[in-house]
Amino acid sequence: MLESVNALPRTAPAMPSSSRILRFRGAAAALAVLVAMPFCTLQAAEPPYSVEARYSRALDLFNLLDNLPDWLPGYTSPVYREAWQRRFGLSDQDRALLADYAAFRQRTSPLARSGREPSAPADRLFAGADTRTGDPYARYFLAVPSFTAAVDAAIAGQDREDQLLLRRYYAHFAPRAEQLLAAQAPFVAQQALLARQLAAPAVLALAQQMKAFFNVDDSPVFQVRFVWWPEAERTQAKLRGGYILLFSTFGTDEDWAPIVMHEFSHFLSAGQPAPQRRLLAESFAALCPEALALPNPLNALEEPLAIYWGQYRFEQQVRGEALSAESAWYVQPQADRTAKALAMAFPARGPAPRLEVGPLLRAAASACSAPEDERR
């Protein structure tokens, strides 16, 4: 899913994430599972990707503390603040520090500054470059195993006043955040299961098809990180700076493989050659002018393509099962309708479609005339 963001009054650019309503049980831990997955082609044995799935306490702490002020709704989530308030309450000092941190992030993050000017169709209908680059401040916490080291590096690049604010913020909230994240073995079972699923030959073959579809040659190291999420009834997946963040409670079992492949579709889409991306977007906008009027135009084409590959073709090609057209494949109706139109035009039992001007764009545009109450 690419996030549609309603900000404070700012709005962030739509960004990749998946959301599902399920229940699940399992165990976990801070152990890296590195799986380099070989995939043979006629020319070379280069894999379509390598996957590193693990848990990072530094990233988990940052994610919790960055979400706590809910400084950019849609990019951040209020559920963390709600969970915090249930556990600890919020004092006047807490609220003042949260407001100061929110102001810092809104002032310094490119995400909060994006979306102020009208953008070209290619930047509205397809995943943008920020899907791969992410938020500069958050990147300090993605790869560093030590939270303290990441904080020091992140703060060093700020001006003196912001440095003082950030040190106060982390010193004040981090000890209680550690209590919320207390778990003996976070996400170890989930990591191991996901690694096995993504190493399956059928999944690798699907990934290779997806790369060919989007006309992307790179074979990335796909970084998957599990982070704590307070709600047991719902899971989230978000693509942040080339990392897939999988959000769940510690004791949750989830069928993560199709979710990861959905996000892989967004990652590949963001890497399309610029001329291809521009031509496709302009051609689709001509076929479906309503798409650019949607609150989140990504639901017209980008999300349906990720659903088509990550859910529909995954179920058929990997598991030999078919998604029911009567069931909801996706939470957003417009994206759901369009994905089903693509599936009807290009059944998973047949050859994959080509991402070019022609039948695929016409099939997607056939779902443009959705009822007004579905354009959410």
- In contact, 38 and 50? CB cutoff 8 Å: no
- In contact, 271 and 128? CB cutoff 8 Å: no
> Which residues, in sequence order, are CB contacts of 364 under 8 Å at separation 6+?
284, 288, 300, 301, 304, 338, 341, 342
**What stretches of 50-113 adopt beta strand conformation (E)?**
50-55
Give the model's pLDDT for residue 115.
54
Q: pLDDT tens track of the chain, all 376 residues?
A: 665 333 333 445 455 455 543 222 233 333 333 333 333 333 344 677 777 889 999 999 999 999 999 999 989 999 999 999 999 999 999 999 999 999 999 999 998 876 555 589 999 999 987 788 889 999 999 988 899 999 999 999 999 999 999 999 999 999 999 999 997 778 988 898 998 999 899 999 999 999 999 999 877 677 899 999 999 888 889 988 889 999 999 887 889 999 999 999 999 999 999 999 999 999 999 999 999 999 999 999 999 999 999 999 999 999 999 999 999 999 999 999 999 999 999 999 999 999 999 999 999 999 997 555 444 4
Domain boundaries, the chain: 2-17+60-180, 188-374
Q: What six digits make up the tokens of 251? A: 């004791």
CA distance 171 to 326: 51
pTM of the predicted model as reported, rounded to 2 decimal places = 0.83
**What stretches of 198-273 adopt beta strand conformation (E)?**
221-228, 234-240, 243-248
Give the model's pLDDT for residue 73.
94
Give the model's pLDDT for residue 59.
96
Give the model's pLDDT for residue 161.
98
How far the first Cα of the chain sits from its last, in Å, is 14
Tell me which DSSP letter residue 189 carries. Answer: H
